Amino acid sequence: MNLCFNTKLVDGYKSNSQIARVLTENWVLNNSYCPCCGEVPLNEFENNRPVADFFCNKCSEEFELKSKGGQLTNTITDGAYSTMIERISSNQNPNFFFLTYSKNWTVENFLIIPKQFFTPDIIVKRKPLSSTAKRAGWIGCNIDISNVAEAGKVFLVKDAKIIDKKAVENSFNQTLFLREKSSNSRGWILDVMLCVDSIKKQYFTLDEVYQFENKLKLKYPNNNFIKDKIRQQLQVLRDKGIIEFVGRGNYKKT
């Protein structure tokens, strides 16, 4: 994997956004692989396809690319809010590649957020455009990846360091079981994953996860058995190898 962009492709281009689009898309085609099955190379959809940019010929996973210059931040600008909400609620939602690059046109971070981690909670509605704007009233959105569990941020490149391909595939495939869950069940699992992430230790206790009971009650006001649901999700995460039960109410992040 070569972390440098092929800048010869944009000789004569003047638009910074067009230069960035050409360079980042070319880089993905020539340097990336499918995080699900490891297939090389990825294939590119026809231009202006509304749903995704790339796909894998072997396993049919689809990917949309978002890129930006500078540091990786929690907020990533996306398109229309209503369109995004509609997409993540359908079967057409692709996985998302996020790529950040330096001013020297080299890759700094390249990660994938699998589509099962996209919920309305991570989509932030922006203010409508003013009445004087060309698209007056249009409402865009941002993707807030701070609300994505750590297991849903699979890095292929992190801080300009290439991550082992097999480790990437293992991380991606470990959470595919979420796609088989109903939206409610998946939501509960993702919420408890975020609670566990908030405990900044490798080892944690059941009582520490119970500290999030009131927070979860706000989201699920009609559920009177929050602690039971917490234990249920921890068991799922244990069975899937995301956490390890070490005995007497103690757990370990794997």
Q: How far apart are CA 162 and CA 158, in angstroms?
A: 7
Cβ(113)–Cβ(82) below 8 Å:
no
What would the pLDDT profile of 113-141 be if each residue is shown by its tens digit? 999 999 999 999 999 999 999 999 999 99
CA 175 to chain CA mean position, Å? 12
Task: Give the residue among 59, 29, 24 at the shortest CA–CA distance from 44.
Answer: 29
Task: Give the residue among 69, 215, 76 at the shortest CA–CA distance from 153.
Answer: 76
Q: How many CB atoms lie within 10 A of CB 230?
A: 21
Structure confidence at residue 89 (pLDDT): 82
Indicate where the chain has its CATH 3.40.210.30 domain(s): 7-176
Q: Is the pLDDT of residue 92 over 80?
A: no
Helix or strand (DSSP H, E) at 56: none
Indicate where the chain has its CATH 1.10.10.10 domain(s): 183-253
Tell me the CATH number of domain 183-253, given options 3.90.226.10, 1.10.150.120, 1.10.10.10, 3.40.47.10.
Answer: 1.10.10.10
Q: How far apart are CA 120 and CA 184, in angstroms?
A: 12
Instruction: State pTM to two decimals.
Output: 0.93
What would the pLDDT profile of 24-43 be if each residue is shown by its tens digit? 999 999 999 999 999 999 99
Structure confidence at residue 48 (pLDDT): 62
What would the pLDDT profile of 50-64 be if each residue is shown by its tens digit? 668 999 999 999 999
Question: What's the mean per-residue pLDDT of the chain?
Answer: 95
* Average pLDDT of span 142-157: 97
The one-letter code for the residue type at 184 is N
Structure confidence at residue 49 (pLDDT): 65
The fold adopted by the segment(s) 7-176 is: PvuII Endonuclease; Chain A (3.40.210)
Q: Measure CA of the first residue to CA of the last residue in the chain; give whole Å.
A: 27
What would the pLDDT profile of 228-254 be if each residue is shown by its tens digit? 999 999 999 999 999 999 999 999 999
Facing residues of 80 across strands?
140
Structure confidence at residue 192 (pLDDT): 98
More confident of the two residues 87 and 188? 188
What would the pLDDT profile of 162-177 be if each residue is shown by its tens digit? 999 999 999 999 999 9
